[in-house]
Amino acid sequence: MTRAAKVLTVSDGVIAGTREDRSGRALAERLAAEGYDVVERRSVADGTESVAAAISAMSAGFAGVLVTTGGTGFGPRDLTPEGTRLVLEREAPGMAEAMRLANPPKGRLSRGLAGTVGECLVLNTPGSSAGAVESLEAVIDVLPHALDLLAGAPTGHPG
């Protein structure tokens, strides 16, 4: 079964045209290599409201994984977790913790979240290409099961 994915890049520099979206491209390539159909890539400026609006729009009616890149650090405009939290219905702290642990030592500086909006699983990853891909790879093996659970599909749990 082909699964769907979307990638959201959060970066003032990408929006201004002063920075290339390497991490968004790297995430899309890694998801495609894993068999996901990347149906949308979008970029937004840093900020709570811009992130919340983009995640809300991209997750509406979407059954799949939405991976964000950027805005998870300590910079004054790094507000991706705050925007994400406004939209999430349920958090998945184990996934966020696994992503942080997979990217030593700087992963410990990531404030990224993971959680759900309807049947969409949202993952915040760092803005660096390596950090974003390493974070995704930390949870990519459990994504199919998580998406099945979100869709209400039988999961093979006994009794």
Model pLDDT, residue 47? 97
Average pLDDT (41-52) is: 98
104 has pLDDT over 80: yes
- Of all residues in the chain, the percent with pLDDT exceeding 90 is 92
Model pLDDT, residue 128? 95
Model pLDDT, residue 157? 62
Domain positions in the chain are: 3-36+53-60+68-118+132-151
159 has pLDDT over 60: no
Average pLDDT score over the chain: 96
pLDDT top residue among 18 and 159: 18
Which CATH entry fits the domain spanning 3-36+53-60+68-118+132-151: 3.40.50.720, 3.20.20.80, 3.40.980.10, 3.30.365.10? 3.40.980.10
Query: What confidence category does residue 62 fall into, taking pLDDT thresholds of 50, 70 and 90?
Result: very high
- Of all residues in the chain, the percent with pLDDT exceeding 70 is 97
Average pLDDT (120-137) is: 97
Model pLDDT, residue 8? 98
Which residue in 6, 51, 46, 41 sits closest to 21, CA to CA? 41
SS3 155: coil
Query: What confidence category does residue 19 fall into, taking pLDDT thresholds of 50, 70 and 90?
Result: very high
Average pLDDT (130-153) is: 96
* Contact status, residue 114 vs residue 99, Cβ threshold 8 Å: yes
Please name the amino acid found at residue 31: L
Cα 123 to chain centroid distance, Å, stands at 3
